[in-house]
Structure 1
Amino acid sequence: MTKFQGLRGLKHIKAVVFDMDGTLCLPQPWMFPAMRNAIGLHDKSIDILHFIDTLPSEKERKEAHDKIELVEAKAMKDMQPQPGLVDIMSYLTSNSISKNICTRNVGAPVETFVARFIQSEFSKFDYIMTRDFRPTKPLPDPLLHIASKLNIRPLEMIMVGDSYDDMKSGRSAGCLTVLLKNHVNGHLLLEHKELVDFAVENLSEIIELIQNLNNKIL
């Protein structure tokens, strides 16, 4: 059952936005602790990108970005696709539903992942928002930007992710939110259930979700 209060106003699911790390690719739980260690950030309550943005000099900010990009480069080599990836990409492409990515990562890992794991006929994404777009998740801005560029309402778009930032961004933008469950994020369904409309364990489950939503609405 969805908790999304605006569902009755929905006309049609026209777009899906995916997070990348832990959503399109399998989680790499070592990555974010490694980033924090690399830049000397030991307070888990402080956002990594916010911490870097508040460093006092451009030189320090660049050095910090370089350090986390080294961690991301290692993670890029170890990326593996989520189960159901090809199924959902095929379905969205075949049904002319816009595919998009919104990540706090940089562009190179996204490009590498798409080239490595998504067949060319399914690999066109309308918009790929990286951390170069500011402000990024958990604020709604990148999702609102995508909706505006696609000329659709946020309500006609699904945000799929595995983290609080994904769900918070999606909810704040007015999108439907889908949590891809894994062994470390189940707490979100308890602590932040108001942010999650649907939860799935495999990307292919989103196919039936879209079919059910559209069939109920059309």
Structure 2
Amino acid sequence: MHPILKDIRLVAFDLDGTLVDSVPDLAAAVDRVLGELDLPAAGEAKVTAWVGNGSLTLVERALTDALGESPGAEPLEAGNLRFLYHYGRDPGSRTRLYPGVREALDALQAGGWILTLVTNKPYAFIEPILAQFGLERHFALALGGDSLQRKKPDPAPLLHVASHFDVPPPACLMVGDSRHDIAAGRAAGFRTLAVPYGYNHGEPVSNSLPDGLIESLTELV
């Protein structure tokens, strides 16, 4: 057992960039939206730097990059709806599970930890992706970016899962790949653990000073 798990009862995981590499599917949906507007494709490299704050922000960044200026509210809303349509049709065919994730989740579940999922991805896409990898049974509760009025880096989703299971925040751990995960965890009073292989807007997640950093989730167990 990793020392960071000492006295921890509940573990909250981020999804994109922590458990799964979803950029190929996200980029495909973004590029379909741009193509419909006769704008150049963004590609996976740019999308990697844009993900992490929910679909609306992702689309806003893509449109701003392609247009050279911020889109208006109506074009942004229309673009987001088209993105949700395209991504909803195929949210997981190119998405891959990171090495060691299944083994870590199996071991943590067998060890009695409460496992939860807290992502900024819209809730409707969570179940199809988890089901694709047979991971839905691992999580006692999953929250998407639209499950509550506020999302990470606001601490509200983490405080919600802690309250839901009646676990005090100091007995909870947030595991993620970005500064938003670390900021949310710290603000909620959770212990924080980062993985360096995900998406963090081109910055090392270690800059956010998490309580721990591991190269693979297998190091947890």
TM-score between the two structures when normalised by the length of structure 2: 0.70
Distance change (3 Å), C-alpha of 1:30 and 1:144:
same
CA shift digits 1:91-143 (9 cap, x unpaired)? 121111111101111234321222121367xx241211101122001110000
For residues 165 and 29 of structure 1, do their structure 2 counterparts lie closer, same or farther at Cα, with a shift above 3 Å needed? farther
In the TM superposition, 1:1-218 aligns within 5 A as 12-26=7-21, 28=23, 31=26, 35=30, 38=33, 49=56, 61=77, 63-70=78-85, 72-73=87-88, 74-118=90-134, 123-132=137-146, 133-182=148-197, 185=200, 187-189=203-205, 191-193=207-209, 196-207=210-221
Identical counterparts, % of pairs: 27
Residue identity opposite 1:197 in structure 2: D
Q: Per-residue CA shift, 1:164-183, capped at 9, x if unaligned?
A: 11111111111111111117
Q: Deviations over 1:64-95 (max 9, x none)?
A: 43233245344522111111112111112111
Ranges in structure 2 where 5+ consecutive residues have no aligned partner: 43-49, 61-71
Report the TM-score when normalising by structure 1.
Answer: 0.71
Moved over 3 A (4+): 29-40, 47-53, 70-75, 183-191
Question: 2:189 & 2:86 partners in 1: Cα distance?
Answer: 33
The number of residues matched between the two structures is: 189
1:36-68 Cα shifts (integer Å, max 9, x gaps): 99489x9x7xx6646989x756x963x343233
